[in-house]
Amino acid sequence: MAISDYEMIAAWKQVLTLSKLQPGQTVTILTSAATHPQTLSTALIATQAMGAVVNRLDLLPVNGEKALSRDSLAYLGTTPLTGNHAAIAALKASDLVLDLMTLLFSPEQHDILKTGTKILLAVEPPEVLARLVPTEADRTRVRAAAKRIEKARQMSVRSKSGTDLVCPLGEFPAISEYGFVDEPGRWDHWPSGFVLTFPNEGAARGQIVIDRGDILLPQKKYVSDPITLTVENGYATHIEGGVDAALLRDYMASFNDPEGYAISHIGWGLQPRARWSTLGLYDREATIGMDARAFEGNFLFSLGPNNEAGGSRTTTCHIDIPLRHCDVMLDGEPVVLNGAVMDR
């Protein structure tokens, strides 16, 4: 259902207030061909209403001839900022960048953040943004979960469907995604509400069963028959099952990159307003599936890069997979039991 500009402006103002936007600060709104016009128009009004100096930087799309999907997270190669020194300079000179096009996992984004510029990604449809507008409570809950990860040296995940995964921890930091940017040099994604880290390089081992009803992203598909991943030395070495497994194998093979099979980020969803069922209500090209990534109690794991957390592995292949009904343990202590978060 469509949402009014009035409600979207109010949502933007809440996010920008949480992000500590001050009068006189410079905001650059980064756009491209796929930017939603209502998200852009209401962002322009909200930032100006709060007294910011506002610029819009519109860049041409790239990688369309290489990617198999129109999803902005489906192909992580070069970005419109690659080699674009004038655009990079403008973003580095900004206090806040509102990314309405997607710079995720790009080296240019890391360089911009190092200057203290804050970056907030917002590419979901306006009604999703408004329903999942972040709160102070989201930050408190996600940061508490991150502290638990920081103290742990092993995450283990099990399920009745057959998942039995062990991930040694400690080489990479815990990352909190709660939907706003309240510190210099911070990146976040509105909407979100989950915690993640990365297993020690080459150390994840065991088996992951992607069961019926679990979700593949960017395919934006509920799995209809189980897929079994064998994980050895940090990589998915076998992908077995029926048609869904064959589709996943073929998609991943298209990247022709063994690094795409590495176990990437691991964590769990903490957003009670996000729903597992929402993906089935949207056209595939209308959403990138943040409800699926953030719904409370999922175990979210990824295949692909780890440079987001300071690792050296880069690959154009990036797949997020939220699982239901898992037990997630940190050093033997449960943080999620059968899909229920143990922090209440």
pLDDT of residue 68: 73
pLDDT of residue 314: 86
C-alpha–C-alpha distance, residues 23 and 271, integer Å? 31
pLDDT band at 71; cut points 50, 70, 90: confident
Does residue 141 sit in the same domain as residue 61? no
Does residue 254 sit in the same domain as residue 146? yes
Residue 4 confidence (pLDDT) above 80: yes
Does residue 302 sit in the same domain as residue 251? yes
Look at residues 80, 98, 131 and tell me which one is the last residue of a structural domain.
131
- What is the tally of structural domains in the chain? 2
Does residue 109 sit in the same domain as residue 154? no
Q: Is the dihedral of CA 112, 57, 308, 156 positive or negative?
A: positive
Q: For residue 91, give the CATH number of its domain.
A: 3.40.50.2300
C-alpha–C-alpha distance, residues 280 and 104, integer Å? 25
Does residue 279 sit in the same domain as residue 142? yes
Does residue 195 sit in the same domain as residue 122? no
pLDDT band at 331; cut points 50, 70, 90: very high
Q: pLDDT, tens digit, for every residue of 132-141?
A: 999 999 999 9
Residues whose CB falls within 8 Å of the CB of residue 42, separated by 6 or more in sequence, listed in order: 5, 8, 9, 11, 12, 126
Q: Percent of the chain having pLDDT more than 90?
A: 85
Q: pLDDT, tens digit, for every residue of 220-269?
A: 999 999 999 999 999 999 999 999 999 999 999 999 999 999 999 999 99
Q: How many CA atoms lie within 13 A of 29 on its CB side?
A: 24
Domain holding 307, by residue range, is 136-341
Q: What is the pTM of this model?
A: 0.95
Does residue 181 sit in the same domain as residue 289? yes
Top pLDDT among 73 and 101 is at 101
